[in-house]
């Protein structure tokens, strides 16, 4: 157990870097989608650069961070198996499964954009970008509060956060539609 804090620290470091990748890559997707609508030669130049940036972010930062975060989390669970009997941990693991599903769907979107298959609007990607934020809030409150009752308030808070994020996205879209330079 003397190395528990080192493992926990490494887990948290890779949580941060994993989320950094998940926060930034949909933003790059937005730029890629919008670049595909530009005239030549801008379209080709921007698309090439954005593909390179997303590839590096995805395979050098995001995927390795996801794998290492998961490995250190499993190691922590091996050291502290009693956590698996805690209700808050069950809910946390559910959100982790949702995060992994989000990551895998984002990977699918990444592959489509690498093939220049534009299947989503930039507006959709702005909304998609908030998925990781909602999971981060949920997991953080669960880990800190460690209470099923407090988690109910957390769910209400997460729903309110989601509504606020959607309203913010709609407001930004209106501002952007009125002023394309915003």
| pLDDT score, position 182 | 62
Q: Flag whether pLDDT at 156 surpasses 80.
A: no
Q: Are 127 and 169 in contact (CB under 8 A)?
A: yes
Lowest model confidence (mean pLDDT) among 32-41, 43-52, 61-70, 139-148: 139-148
Phi, psi of 147 (to 5 degrees): -140, 130
Contacts of 15 (CB under 8 A, 6+ apart): 69
Average the pLDDT over 7-27 and give the result.
98
Q: How many CA atoms lie within 13 A of 76 on its CB side?
A: 17
| pLDDT score, position 149 | 57
| pLDDT score, position 53 | 98
Residue 123 known to bind ligand: no
Mean pLDDT of the chain: 91
| pLDDT score, position 170 | 81
Average the pLDDT over 60-69 and give the result.
98
SS3 at position 3: coil
Instruction: List pLDDT tens digits, range 114-152.
Output: 999 999 999 899 999 989 998 998 888 888 888 655 666
**H helical segments located in 57-121:** 63-79, 87-114
Do you find a cis peptide bond into 181, omega within 30 degrees of 0? no
CB neighbours of residue 140 within 10 Å: 13
Q: Are 102 and 18 in contact (CB under 8 A)?
A: no
Q: Flag whether pLDDT at 89 surpasses 60.
A: yes
Q: What percent of the chain has pLDDT over 70?
A: 95
Q: Flag whether pLDDT at 90 surpasses 80.
A: yes
Residue 38 known to bind ligand: no
């Amino acid at each position: 157990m003397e190395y528990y804090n080192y493992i926990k620290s490494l887990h948290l470091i890779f949580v941060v870097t994993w989320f950094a990748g998940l926060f930034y890559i949909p933003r790059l997707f937005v730029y890629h989608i919008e670049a595909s609508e530009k005239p030549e030669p801008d379209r080709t130049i921007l698309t090439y650069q954005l593909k390179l940036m997303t590839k590096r972010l995805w395979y050098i930062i995001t995927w390795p961070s996801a794998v290492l975060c998961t490995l250190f989390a499993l190691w922590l669970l091996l050291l502290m198996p009693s956590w698996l009997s805690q209700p808050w941990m069950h809910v946390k693991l559910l959100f982790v499964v949702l995060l992994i599903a989000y990551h895998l769907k984002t990977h699918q979107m990444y592959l489509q954009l690498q093939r220049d298959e534009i299947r989503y609007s930039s507006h959709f990607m702005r909304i998609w970008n908030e998925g990781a934020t909602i999971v981060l809030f949920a997991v953080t409150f669960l880990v800190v509060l460690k209470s099923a009752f407090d988690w109910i308030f957390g769910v209400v808070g997460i729903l309110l956060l989601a509504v606020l994020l959607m309203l913010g996205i709609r407001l930004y879209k209106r501002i952007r539609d009125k002023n394309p330079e915003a």
